[in-house]
Amino acid sequence: MPKFDYSLHYAELDLRAHPELYRVGRGEQGVLLVQPYKGELLPHWRFATPEAARESSEAIFGMFEEYLRAGDFVGADMARKFLQMGFTRARRYANHKGGKKYDGPVPQDKKGQSGAHGRAELPRQPEDPVKAEAARIFKARWDEAEANEDYARLKKAHRAQYG
Protein backbone atom coordinates (compact mmCIF):
# COMPACT_ATOMS: atom_id res chain seq x y z
CA MET A 1 0.00 0.00 0.00
CA PRO A 2 1.49 3.39 -0.97
CA LYS A 3 2.19 5.69 1.95
CA PHE A 4 0.47 9.02 2.36
CA ASP A 5 2.67 11.64 0.70
CA TYR A 6 3.48 14.31 3.28
CA SER A 7 5.79 16.13 0.85
CA LEU A 8 2.95 17.72 -1.15
CA HIS A 9 1.88 21.30 -0.40
CA TYR A 10 -1.72 20.45 0.53
CA ALA A 11 -2.69 24.02 1.45
CA GLU A 12 -2.14 24.92 -2.21
CA LEU A 13 -3.72 21.81 -3.74
CA ASP A 14 -7.31 20.96 -4.61
CA LEU A 15 -7.45 17.18 -4.46
CA ARG A 16 -10.98 17.15 -5.84
CA ALA A 17 -9.44 18.51 -9.04
CA HIS A 18 -6.36 16.27 -8.70
CA PRO A 19 -7.42 12.93 -7.19
CA GLU A 20 -4.38 11.30 -8.78
CA LEU A 21 -2.23 12.92 -6.08
CA TYR A 22 -4.17 11.30 -3.23
CA ARG A 23 -2.89 8.23 -1.41
CA VAL A 24 -5.03 6.59 1.25
CA GLY A 25 -2.09 5.78 3.52
CA ARG A 26 -2.75 4.26 6.93
CA GLY A 27 -5.50 5.18 9.35
CA GLU A 28 -6.06 8.91 9.60
CA GLN A 29 -3.00 10.06 7.68
CA GLY A 30 -3.61 13.43 6.03
CA VAL A 31 -7.01 13.97 7.62
CA LEU A 32 -6.20 17.57 8.54
CA LEU A 33 -4.33 18.36 5.33
CA VAL A 34 -6.29 17.38 2.22
CA GLN A 35 -8.31 20.26 0.74
CA PRO A 36 -11.06 21.06 -0.06
CA TYR A 37 -12.29 18.20 2.12
CA LYS A 38 -10.70 19.36 5.36
CA GLY A 39 -12.53 22.67 4.97
CA GLU A 40 -15.83 20.91 4.22
CA LEU A 41 -15.67 18.27 6.97
CA LEU A 42 -13.86 19.94 9.88
CA PRO A 43 -16.68 22.39 10.75
CA HIS A 44 -18.93 19.37 11.46
CA TRP A 45 -16.44 17.41 13.59
CA ARG A 46 -17.30 17.40 17.32
CA PHE A 47 -16.89 14.71 19.97
CA ALA A 48 -17.12 16.39 23.41
CA THR A 49 -20.47 14.80 24.32
CA PRO A 50 -22.57 11.92 22.99
CA GLU A 51 -25.05 14.45 21.60
CA ALA A 52 -22.29 16.33 19.76
CA ALA A 53 -20.80 13.03 18.54
CA ARG A 54 -24.17 11.82 17.28
CA GLU A 55 -24.87 15.06 15.40
CA SER A 56 -21.32 15.22 14.07
CA SER A 57 -21.08 11.59 12.98
CA GLU A 58 -24.47 11.80 11.25
CA ALA A 59 -23.45 14.95 9.37
CA ILE A 60 -20.08 13.51 8.35
CA PHE A 61 -21.60 10.16 7.38
CA GLY A 62 -24.17 12.04 5.27
CA MET A 63 -21.29 13.80 3.51
CA PHE A 64 -19.57 10.41 3.07
CA GLU A 65 -22.69 9.18 1.26
CA GLU A 66 -22.86 12.36 -0.86
CA TYR A 67 -19.23 11.93 -1.91
CA LEU A 68 -19.97 8.31 -2.85
CA ARG A 69 -23.00 9.33 -4.92
CA ALA A 70 -20.78 11.81 -6.75
CA GLY A 71 -18.15 9.10 -7.36
CA ASP A 72 -15.68 11.16 -5.29
CA PHE A 73 -13.50 8.56 -3.60
CA VAL A 74 -11.10 11.09 -2.08
CA GLY A 75 -13.99 12.90 -0.38
CA ALA A 76 -15.50 9.64 0.84
CA ASP A 77 -12.16 8.50 2.21
CA MET A 78 -11.59 11.82 3.96
CA ALA A 79 -15.07 11.58 5.53
CA ARG A 80 -14.20 8.03 6.64
CA LYS A 81 -10.99 9.40 8.19
CA PHE A 82 -12.94 12.07 10.08
CA LEU A 83 -15.24 9.35 11.47
CA GLN A 84 -12.18 7.35 12.50
CA MET A 85 -10.61 10.43 14.05
CA GLY A 86 -13.82 11.09 16.01
CA PHE A 87 -13.49 7.61 17.49
CA THR A 88 -9.77 7.82 18.24
CA ARG A 89 -9.91 11.29 19.78
CA ALA A 90 -12.95 10.51 21.91
CA ARG A 91 -11.23 7.27 23.08
CA ARG A 92 -8.10 9.23 23.90
CA TYR A 93 -10.10 11.64 26.04
CA ALA A 94 -11.98 8.71 27.61
CA ASN A 95 -8.65 7.18 28.68
CA HIS A 96 -6.56 10.29 29.38
CA LYS A 97 -7.97 13.33 31.15
CA GLY A 98 -7.27 16.33 28.96
CA GLY A 99 -6.57 14.09 25.95
CA LYS A 100 -2.78 14.04 26.41
CA LYS A 101 -1.68 10.46 25.67
CA TYR A 102 2.12 10.79 25.47
CA ASP A 103 4.73 12.48 27.60
CA GLY A 104 6.70 15.24 25.89
CA PRO A 105 6.37 17.06 22.58
CA VAL A 106 6.18 15.39 19.18
CA PRO A 107 9.64 15.39 17.58
CA GLN A 108 9.84 18.08 14.86
CA ASP A 109 10.46 15.54 12.09
CA LYS A 110 7.39 13.50 13.07
CA LYS A 111 4.65 16.15 13.24
CA GLY A 112 1.58 15.17 11.25
CA GLN A 113 2.40 11.48 11.47
CA SER A 114 0.74 8.94 13.75
CA GLY A 115 2.31 6.97 16.59
CA ALA A 116 4.19 7.58 19.82
CA HIS A 117 7.61 8.12 18.16
CA GLY A 118 9.46 6.76 21.18
CA ARG A 119 7.58 8.84 23.74
CA ALA A 120 6.16 7.17 26.84
CA GLU A 121 2.39 6.75 27.11
CA LEU A 122 0.98 8.50 30.16
CA PRO A 123 -0.97 6.37 32.66
CA ARG A 124 -4.62 5.87 31.84
CA GLN A 125 -7.21 7.50 34.05
CA PRO A 126 -10.50 5.87 35.06
CA GLU A 127 -12.58 5.82 31.88
CA ASP A 128 -14.69 8.90 31.21
CA PRO A 129 -18.11 7.40 30.36
CA VAL A 130 -19.23 10.48 28.40
CA LYS A 131 -16.22 10.35 26.06
CA ALA A 132 -16.47 6.55 25.86
CA GLU A 133 -20.06 6.88 24.60
CA ALA A 134 -18.99 9.54 22.09
CA ALA A 135 -16.30 7.13 20.86
CA ARG A 136 -18.85 4.31 20.52
CA ILE A 137 -21.09 6.54 18.39
CA PHE A 138 -18.25 7.44 16.03
CA LYS A 139 -17.04 3.83 15.89
CA ALA A 140 -20.45 2.62 14.71
CA ARG A 141 -20.47 5.14 11.83
CA TRP A 142 -16.83 4.46 10.98
CA ASP A 143 -17.57 0.73 10.80
CA GLU A 144 -20.58 1.46 8.59
CA ALA A 145 -18.41 3.50 6.23
CA GLU A 146 -15.71 0.81 6.09
CA ALA A 147 -18.33 -1.84 5.26
CA ASN A 148 -19.94 0.19 2.47
CA GLU A 149 -19.67 -1.73 -0.82
CA ASP A 150 -19.58 1.41 -2.98
CA TYR A 151 -16.73 2.76 -0.85
CA ALA A 152 -14.80 -0.52 -1.21
CA ARG A 153 -15.34 -0.50 -4.97
CA LEU A 154 -14.16 3.11 -5.35
CA LYS A 155 -11.16 2.47 -3.09
CA LYS A 156 -10.11 -0.51 -5.17
CA ALA A 157 -10.56 1.48 -8.41
CA HIS A 158 -8.58 4.46 -7.02
CA ARG A 159 -5.70 2.23 -5.99
CA ALA A 160 -5.73 0.42 -9.35
CA GLN A 161 -5.68 3.70 -11.27
CA TYR A 162 -3.36 5.80 -9.11
CA GLY A 163 -1.46 3.38 -6.85
| Rounded mean pLDDT, 73-89 | 98
pTM here is 0.88
Distance CA 137, CA 60 (A): 12
Residue 150 pLDDT greater than 70, yes or no: yes
CA-to-CA dists, residue 66 to 54, 62, 138, 151, 157, angstroms: 18, 6, 18, 11, 18
Q: Where are the domains of the chain?
A: 10-101+126-162
Model confidence over 97-149: pLDDT tens digits? 877 777 777 665 555 555 556 788 877 778 889 999 999 999 999 999 999 99
Mapped onto helix, strand or coil, the DSSP state of residue 121 is strand
What is the predicted pLDDT for the residue at 116? 59
Distance CA 93, CA 79 (A): 21
Q: Give the model's pLDDT for residue 115.
A: 56
